Amino acid sequence: MNDTLALCLEILFWFALFVVFYTYLGYGILLYILVKLKELFVKPVKRSLPATDGELPEVTLFITAFNEEEVVDEKMENCLELDYPADKLHIVWVTDGSDDGTNERLQTRWQGKATVHFQPIRQGKTAAMTRGMTLVDTPFVVFTDANTMVNREAIREIVLAFQDPKVGCVAGEKRIAVQTKDGAAAGGEGIYWKYESTLKALDARLYSAVGAAGELFAVRRELFEAMEPDTLLDDFILSLRITMKGYTIAYCTNAYAIESGSADMREEEKRKVRIAAGGLQSIWRLRPLLNPFRYGVLSFQYTSHRVLRWSVTPFLLFALLPLNVAILLSGGSTVFYGVLLGMQLLFYGLGYWGYYLSTKQIKNKILFIPYYFLFMNINVLKGIRYLKKKKGNGAWEKAKRAEK
């Protein structure tokens, strides 16, 4: 009986360890190998923009904002510096519910430079986006956040990606402006997004990127569809519903948005919990994508890159420690499983040390990695409670960003 129990515990332990490893490292390794194999036989097609600016398509730069008075001027200056013909680029702000100086600023200093759509009722970002899109008539729409700055060449790079008729959405790269004084929130987020950007680029090279980030992404206007008002990850849901129509998401590293990291870990926690809740919500609303017989490679990428992170993997990660202890108590190899237990305790210890240093505003990039990794997974568990609490509420809560 004890032997059977020990065997079951070991099977569970190794299954959990495999899933955790695959989710965070294994998929990236496998993805890299698959991309290299594909590109041995299929060479990327080089495309180019029209010969003259007059042939470029019209584009709407779409900004959904709530009480962004502090960044309006910087954002507008950034928009007007973009390398795209002024008569082809339409800047649109949707500021529903804003009650600070956002609208006044846009309608005074920036009058004639941007179109502002406003209604006093605040129904949430998704509702504002859906309402604003009914007023847009350009073939391409580029979404960006008010507090992110876009590189000068971004619009041309996005339009270039759309030269491929199979591309229905273009995901820009998100970059975190990490300052030397930044703590665990900005430092950990910056490291995370560098790794995430690498995975997205590989995903796109294999078949399609798996979702877009709201800081910078673009769609063909005719592919936009209204989303449920309580949608938490509008960018993710919208972009993947486009892939479900047979299009792909291109990932454009030459079009990027830069923003500051969260002001501190408490603000970062707000963001991560909300994203985790949105991930769980997305898994349910995009459940047809889990069918590999219908969506093939896309289903494999979606499950490996997103679903596991937002569902079973965090539970399996935190199950490893008690499973390890149970194996030792049931008579498992003292040396082998003792070493594994020691490694786990060391990792948790380093994570806690990183947490302690962050509370003292002491910067240590090495310790931010285990701390931020554990922090992200804990917030996935918290996301379940958040989703129940916020059900039916489409209004979003902004996390404060670090000062530049």
Residue bearing the bigger pLDDT, 123 or 150: 150
Distance, CA of 24 to CA of 17 (rounded, Å): 11
For range 352-360, the mean pLDDT: 81
Biggest distance spanned by C-alpha atoms of the chain = 79
Which CA distances in Å does 237 have to 278, 280, 283, 385?
A: 9, 11, 9, 21
User: 180 falls in which pLDDT band (50, 70, 90)?
Assistant: very low
CB 232 within 8 A of CB 281: yes
For range 301-322, the mean pLDDT: 97
Residue 268 confidence (pLDDT) above 80: no
CB 203 within 8 A of CB 251: yes
Cα torsion angle, 71, 269, 375, 384, sign: negative
Q: What is the pLDDT of residue 161?
A: 97
Q: What is the pLDDT of residue 225?
A: 93
Rounded to two decimals, the pTM is: 0.90
User: Residue 65's CB: how many other CB atoms inside 10 A?
Assistant: 25
For range 278-282, the mean pLDDT: 95
| Lowest-confidence segment of 126-130, 199-203, 325-329, 356-360 by average pLDDT | 356-360
For range 205-227, the mean pLDDT: 96
Residue 42 confidence (pLDDT) above 60: yes
Which CA distances in Å does 55 have to 49, 50, 51, 85, 88?
A: 9, 6, 7, 10, 10
Which CA distances in Å does 257 have to 79, 169, 200, 233, 307?
A: 12, 16, 15, 18, 25
Q: What is the pLDDT of residue 299?
A: 98
Please write the tens of the pLDDT for every residue from 49-97: 988 999 999 999 999 999 999 999 999 999 999 999 999 999 999 999 9
For range 245-257, the mean pLDDT: 96
User: 3 falls in which pLDDT band (50, 70, 90)?
Assistant: confident
For range 338-367, the mean pLDDT: 84
For range 8-37, the mean pLDDT: 97
Q: What is the pLDDT of residue 398?
A: 54
Secondary structure E strands in 232-329: 248-260
Average pLDDT, the chain: 89
Residue 45 confidence (pLDDT) above 90: no
Residue 400 confidence (pLDDT) above 60: no
Gyration radius (Cα) of the chain, Å: 23
Q: What is the pLDDT of residue 209?
A: 97
Residue bearing the bigger pLDDT, 187 or 312: 312
Q: What is the pLDDT of residue 391?
A: 60
